[in-house]
Structure 1
Amino acid sequence: MIENRPFLNLLTHLVLILGVAIVALPVWVAFVASTHTATDFSSGTIPMWPGPHLVENYSRMLDSGLSTSGTPPVARMMLNSLIMAMAIAIGKIVISVLSAFAIVYFRFPLRNFAFWCIFVTLMLPVEVRIVPTFQVVAGLGLLNSYAGLSIPLIASATATFLFRQVFLTMPDELVEAARIDGAGPMKFFRDILLPLSRTNIAALFVILFIYGWNQYLWPLLITTDAQYYTIVAGIKRMADAVDGLPQWHLVMATAVMAMLPPVAVVIGMQRLFVKGLVETEK
């Protein structure tokens, strides 16, 4: 039974409002900055209300970009980031769900050893192995390509572990019923396991999409052709270029647009995302 305590209710709501304000204030400042001109920041004070140049600034960045930084239009960089994020999210899920299926439902020598070899790679993030990974990608001729942006980041020990835990919660009666009905391994996987794992896949897709979209170091390292710049790396290049010629209003417009796709994915898949995180029984 939950007791009705007005003071605690008021306190919790105040804490929530404060938390939202702390998170939303930088976003609001970035949006306001994107609606002004460069001269509005010369005095050192930041306006707190939107200006009249919203359409002008955003259309300029979408169509032509910031020429002084050598970056392409924002629309092109967002497309590159979208392709990279989708490839990473879908690739990680496909590889992880298949590897977890093999580890849980197939009996083969050194099965647990294979799983722990996958799990140990959690201690080797991209930043640790970035030099040998770059050498391999360069040797394969994948620099300045979508394959080079996504393939080295596809393998995921975390996703394999999560799907393994999900499959371990499946009742053994499902396997026995599938065998009685004459279903083979892939039919059991396609018709039973995947539908039951739908919410977990959706939750993991949201996390992995944001992970791929926010990649910074790897795209910055392997892309020298402006046609393959991603939006996060592009913002960094813009910020470096504007040190001599301040155009922070255009950089902020790019930053605001870079937030929109991840926010849209979270909002669009919110129900499945929450259900996939809290669901424990099938």
Structure 2
Amino acid sequence: MVEKRGSALWMTHALMILGVLVVFFPIWLAFVASTVTQPEIVSPPMPLLPGGHFVENYTRALFAGVNIPVATMLLNSLVMALGIALGKIAISLLSAFAIVYFRFPGRTTFFWMIFITLMLPVEVRIVPTYEVVAGFGLLNSYAGLIFPLIASATATFLFRQFFLTIPDELAEAARVDGARPMRFFVDIVLPMSRTNIAALFVILFIYGWNQYLWPLLITTEPEMNTIVMGIKQMFPSGDDTADWPVIMATSILAMIPPVIVVVSMQKLFIRGLVDSEK
């Protein structure tokens, strides 16, 4: 490892601190705006220190909102993000396990067919996907929000690459001991994949949380709005005045669940990305 000393060390830390401040300052402004009144926001200069309306503004946002309570939208986003992340991981684990450990005709072809779907994002196939979801009557439902997005070629590819690094002797030993394939999968493969699963869960949770186009397309009832949709719909049209304290409070609330997931799984996330066996 190369260690920097003297002025180079101070310069490195100064640049890091400057970068953090540049990233954090807009978030701080949003938080300050969520704790003051509407006149304080629209009358320059905007305050840089929190005001005394924190409880009032966040209570209005959570239980009243602008069109729908933010608590409902947070619940919708949480269900969608968890469903997408867990669904993608479960399907990808089983798909990769079948491709690596089972010998069947065309398994390589099937793998590359899955891999090619990386070139077909949701936006490209959104019309036929919408027709299928509407045909099954899944509009304005959690199933309609989750199921079309739970297949993941990227996760399948990453799990396949990891499974290929597991020594064949483990599979042979399990077979000699009389373990069935799913017993081998549950007792050996899953525990060894823990860090990979954690890293993918963080990425896929944020992916599901930030979805905008698909929920906007298949939800027409306000009660099914996600938090990302809700923030956009809070901005008024025409000459109406935006309720900036509530909008800023909603923006801060929308950041909390992803931050909790990243912070709580930070160690596993880093290990899953940098482990040498990957």
TM-score tier, shorter chain, comes to: over 0.9
Q: State the superposition RMSD in angstroms.
A: 1.4
Shift in CA distance, 103/237, structure 1 to aligned 2, threshold 3 Å: same
Is the contact between residue 31 and residue 50 of structure 2 (CA under 8 Å) also seen in structure 1? yes
Alignment partner of 1:213 is 2:209: yes
Pairing 1:149–2:145 present = yes
Q: 1: distance between equivalents of 2:113 and 2:155?
A: 14
Question: How many Å apart are 1:241 and its aligned residue?
Answer: 5.1
TM-aligned CA distance change 1:223 to 1:242, over 3 Å: farther
Instruction: Kindly provide the CA deviation profile for residues 145-182 of structure 1, in whole angstroms up to 9, marking residues without a partner as x.
Output: 00011111100000000100110110111111111111
Amino acid at match of 1:265: V
Output aligned runs, 1:26-175, within 5 Å: 26-66=26-66, 70=67, 72-175=68-171
C-alpha deviation, 1:20, in angstroms: 0.7
Assess if the C-alpha contact under 8 Å between 2:73 and 2:230 holds in 1: yes
Deviations 1:47-101 (A, max 9, x none): 21111111100011111111xxx3x211111011000000000000000000000
Contact 2:73–2:224 (CA under 8 A) maintained in structure 1: yes
Partner of 2:7: 7
User: Aligned partner of 1:156: which letter?
Assistant: S
Change (3 A) 1:278 1:77: same
2:188, 2:274 → 1: CA distance? 20
User: Which residue does the alignment assign to 2:260?
Assistant: 264
Identity of aligned residues (%): 66
- What letter matches 2:256 in structure 1? L
Contact 2:162 2:277 in 1 (8 A): no
**Unmatched runs of 5 consecutive residues or more in structure 2:** none
Counterparts of residues 238-249 of structure 1 (less than 5 Å): 238-240=234-236, 244-249=240-245
- Structure 1, unmatched stretches of 5+, are none
Specify the alignment match of 2:180 in structure 1: 184
- Taking a change above 3 Å as real, the CA distance of residues 7 and 108 of structure 1, as seen in their structure-2 partners, is same
SS of the residue 2:232 aligns to: helix
Distance change (3 Å), C-alpha of 1:63 and 1:270: same
- Asked if the contact 2:30–2:248 (Cα under 8 Å) also holds between the matched residues in 1, the reply is yes
CA shift, 1:5, in A, is: 2.3
Matches within 5 A, 1:215-254: 215-240=211-236, 244-254=240-250
Structure 1 residues 74-83 or 129-138, which shifts more?
A: 129-138
**Residues 35 and 54 of structure 2 are in contact (CA less than 8 Å); yes or no, is this contact kept in structure 1?**
yes
C-alpha distance in structure 1 between counterparts of 2:239 and 2:117, whole Å: 39
The whole-number CA distance in structure 2 between the counterparts of 1:279 and 1:192 is 18
* Pick aligned residue for 1:274 from 265, 270, 276: 270
Distance in 2 (CA, whole Å) between partners of 1:219 and 1:231 is 10
For residues 136 and 123 of structure 1, what CA distance do their matches in structure 2 show? 20
Give SS of 1:90's match.
helix
Structure 1 outlier segments of 4+, above 4 Å = none
- Answer whether contact 1:200 1:276 (CA < 8 A) is retained: yes
Distance 1:95 1:206 in 2: 16
CA–CA distance in 2 between the matches of 1:30 and 1:21?
Answer: 14
CA contact (8 A) 1:103 1:115 kept: yes
Which whole-Å CA distance do the structure 1 matches of 2:43 and 2:3 have between them? 53
Distance in 2 separating the partners of 1:6 and 1:243: 57
- Partner SS state of residue 235, structure 2: helix
Deviation, 1:211, is 0.7
